[in-house]
């Protein structure tokens, strides 16, 4: 499953978790975007929408937080240990722009997260029926890491697009319908997965299983955490999605995903000879991807697409149009694999609920 956050993820909103580095934008040659809601034209400076506003309410009128994690290799005298790290992405908007800032929770510092983001900058491409979108100008701004754009919003319903060089609102265009859940007075244990050891990410609503499992690695601290009688303060809310709909089928490729194959047919025959694949053209680019028995594109985790760009063949990733948290999304589940995503991948916390979670973890995990 694609993990490029998400104004979707890690956008993702959660699917749009970005990587980048550098300084804030300065004056430069300006592109013009004519797609913003209610405005005939907007100026675009290297992926940053200038002078854009929103006339409607949005859940991002206040800071919101996404809980996430990382695994780090720590060398030992004989090999290395795998150490889990917990942090959050703080999302804030400025006009139609959404920016993120990392907040350290456990086993990591904010500087370490920032350094990792800066080191992980790669050129990415997003291809859909509207065209090929690039991300060459992604860099940290004064407001944080630019994640993308709010296309439309009304209360808990929001449509976003991923950061791209031309400020197009058609790159990774995703619509969310959130439910605002009051967790005031609840204990932290109340929002953990029901069975952290055996559950999969698909079963979780508030906190992902990997986040919870990292906490459980320290069994003493975890026992103290789940047995705590502390409760969320008044005004604590979690936004949990009722739907997360990709409005277009998106193909993703990277400079690093270049292959030695000469044609898409060769790529498909070498890597996926026993599966149904369709050869197609998307916005003028040749692609091949998995299909069901009726010839329709179908997401099946592990069966990647390929894209031809400038006469070269690239391994790709993709997200098929549709509601990615629906249990009917993608190919039917198997014993080992499901193709839809967990609601917790997209859960967002307001400041009161996030502050409580971070403080509780830091109380017991020294």
Query: What is the number of structural domains in the chain?
Result: 2
Q: Please indicate, yes or no, whether residues 173 and 272 belong to a single structural domain of this protein.
A: no
Q: Mean pLDDT over residues 324-333, rounded?
A: 95
- Domain enclosing residue 83, as ranges: 14-247+339-364
Instruction: Look up residue 6 and give its two tokens.
Output: 């998400």
pLDDT value for 219: 92
Per-residue pLDDT at 14: 40
Clarify whether residues 169 and 238 are in a common domain.
Answer: yes
Give the pLDDT confidence score for residue 336 in this predicted structure: 81
Q: Give the closest residue to 56 by CA, choosing from 150, 161, 143, 146.
A: 150
**Does residue 179 have a pLDDT over 50?**
yes
- Residues 157 and 267 reside in one and the same domain: no
Task: Tell me the residue ranges of DSSP E strands in 34-79.
Answer: 42-45, 48-50, 64-75
Is 256 in the same domain as 350? no
* Averaged pLDDT of the chain: 87
Give kind and range of the element (H or E) at residue 182.
strand 174-182
Task: State the pLDDT at residue 55.
Answer: 81
Residue 1 maps to a domain = no
Start-to-end CA span in the chain (Å): 33
Q: In this model, does residue 296 exceed pLDDT 90?
A: yes
362 in Cβ contact with 354 (< 8 Å): no
Say which residue the tokens 């320290």 belong to: 218
**How buried is 334 (Cβ within 10 angstroms: 0-12 exposed, 13-18 middle, 19+ buried)?**
exposed
User: Helices in 175-263 by DSSP H: which ranges?
Assistant: 209-216, 219-226
Residues 344, 285 within the same domain? no
Q: Is residue 258 part of a domain?
A: yes
Confidence grade of residue 329 (pLDDT, cut at 50, 70, 90)? very high
What is the dihedral sign for C-alpha 105, 124, 296, 288? negative
Q: Answer whether residue 145 is part of any domain.
A: yes
- State pLDDT tens for residues 29-43: 333 333 444 445 779
Q: Is 197 domain-assigned? A: yes
What's the token pair of residue 361?
């973890």
Question: Is residue 26 domain-shared with residue 62, that is, in the same domain?
Answer: yes
One domain, residues 232 and 303: no
Q: pLDDT tens-digit profile of 307-317?
A: 999 999 999 99
Q: Give the pLDDT score at 16.
A: 35
Q: Flag whether pLDDT at 181 surpasses 70.
A: yes
Nearest of 306, 22, 8 to residue 174 by alpha carbon: 8
Do both 121 and 231 map to the same domain?
A: yes
What per-residue confidence (pLDDT) applies to 334?
86
The pair of three-digit structure tokens given for residue 180, joined into one six-digit string: 């605002």
In a domain, 327, yes or no: no
Q: Give percent above pLDDT 70 in the chain.
A: 87
Q: What are phi and psi of 358, to 5 degrees?
A: -60, -45
Q: Are residues 290 and 144 in the same domain?
A: no
Lowest mean pLDDT among 41-50, 284-293, 354-363: 41-50
Q: Which of 19-23, 105-109, 166-170, 207-211 has the lowest mean pLDDT?
A: 19-23
- What was the pLDDT predicted at 76? 76
Residue (of 14, 285, 312) closest to 128 by Cα position: 285
Q: CA 265, CA 259: separation in Å to the nearest integer?
A: 13
List strands edge to edge, sheet with 306-309. Answer: 277-282, 285-290, 306-309, 312-315
Q: Residues 221-238: pLDDT tens digits?
A: 999 999 999 999 999 999
295 plus 357 within the same structural domain? no
Average pLDDT for residues 135-160, to the nearest whole number? 94
Phi, psi of 104, deg, nearest 5: -70, 140
Q: Is residue 329 part of a domain?
A: no
Q: Over the stretch 103-147, which tens digit does the pLDDT of each residue have?
A: 999 999 999 999 888 877 778 999 999 999 999 999 999 999 999
Q: Is residue 5 part of a domain?
A: no
d(CA 103, CA 358): 9
Element (H, E) at 86: strand 80-94
Residues 89 and 112 in one domain: yes
Q: Are residues 242 and 283 in the same domain?
A: no
The verdict on residue 72 lying in a domain is yes
């Amino acid at each position: 499953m694609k993990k490029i956050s998400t104004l979707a993820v890690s956008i993702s909103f959660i699917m749009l978790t970005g990587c980048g580095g550098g300084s804030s934008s300065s004056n430069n040659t300006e592109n013009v975007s004519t797609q913003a809601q209610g405005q005939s034209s907007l100026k675009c400076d290297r992926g940053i929408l200038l002078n854009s506003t929103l006339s409607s309410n949005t859940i991002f009128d206040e800071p919101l937080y996404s809980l996430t994690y990382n695994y780090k290799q720590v060398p030992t005298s004989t090999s290395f240990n795998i150490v889990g790290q917990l942090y959050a992405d703080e999302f804030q908007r400025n006009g139609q722009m959404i920016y993120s800032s990392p907040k350290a929770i456990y086993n990591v510092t904010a500087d370490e997260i920032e350094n990792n983001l800066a080191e992980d900058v790669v050129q990415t491409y997003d291809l859909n029926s509207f065209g090929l979108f690039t991300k060459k100008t992604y860099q940290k701004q004064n407001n944080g890491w630019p994640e993308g754009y709010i296309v439309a919003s009304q209360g808990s319903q929001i449509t976003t697009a991923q950061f791209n060089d031309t400020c197009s609102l058609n790159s990774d265009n995703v619509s969310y319908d959130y439910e605002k859940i009051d967790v005031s007075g609840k204990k932290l244990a109340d929002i953990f997965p029901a069975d952290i050891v055996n559950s999969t990410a698909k079963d979780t609503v508030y906190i992902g299983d990997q986040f919870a499992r990292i906490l459980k690695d320290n069994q003493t601290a975890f026992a103290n955490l789940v047995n705590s009688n502390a409760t969320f303060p008044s005004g604590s809310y979690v936004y949990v999605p009722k739907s997360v709909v990709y409005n277009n089928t998106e193909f993703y490729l990277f400079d690093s995903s270049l292959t030695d194959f000469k044609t898409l047919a060769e790529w498909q025959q070498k890597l996926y000879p026993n599966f149904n694949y369709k050869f197609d053209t998307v916005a003028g680019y040749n692609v091949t991807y998995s299909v069901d028995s009726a010839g329709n594109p179908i997401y099946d985790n592990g069966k990647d697409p390929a894209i031809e760009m400038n006469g070269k063949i690239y391994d790709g990733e993709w997200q098929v149009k549709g509601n990615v948290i629906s249990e009917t999304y993608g190919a039917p589940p198997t014993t080992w694999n499901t193709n839809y995503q967990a609601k917790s991948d997209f859960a967002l916390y307001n400041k009161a609920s996030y502050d409580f979670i971070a403080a509780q973890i830091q109380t017991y995990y020294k």
